[in-house]
Amino acid sequence: MNSKLLAATFGLAMLAASTAASAHVNLDIGIGIPVAPAYVQPAPVYVAPAPVVTGYWGNDGWREREWRRHEWREHEWREHEWREHRRWGDG
């Protein structure tokens, strides 16, 4: 009986030791002053913005040329129509 009691006591001690080894309680008390900085924020990096493009020099004049060509054709068409009507006495 003595050996059974000793074996049971030893078994309970081992069981208690294994649960004590896996479970723990943490108690932290701090006053908010770090001892050593864990992370230092890097200095901000300033990148200059890209320059503002106000217009294109050189190859963007095609719109103006096309508009002038359109206006010239319309003017010539109206001139032609006016001459045709004047020739036949319509206007």
Check pLDDT > 90 for residue 41. no
Integer CA distances (angstroms), 72 to 62, 75, 81, 82, in order: 15, 5, 14, 15
Q: Position 33: which residue type?
A: I
Is the Cβ–Cβ distance between 85 and 91 less than 8 Å?
Answer: yes
26-37 confidence digits (pLDDT tens) = 777 777 776 776
Residue 90 pLDDT > 60: no
Q: Where are the domains of the chain?
A: 61-90
Q: Which positions ≥6 away from 91 have C-beta within 8 Å?
A: 82, 85
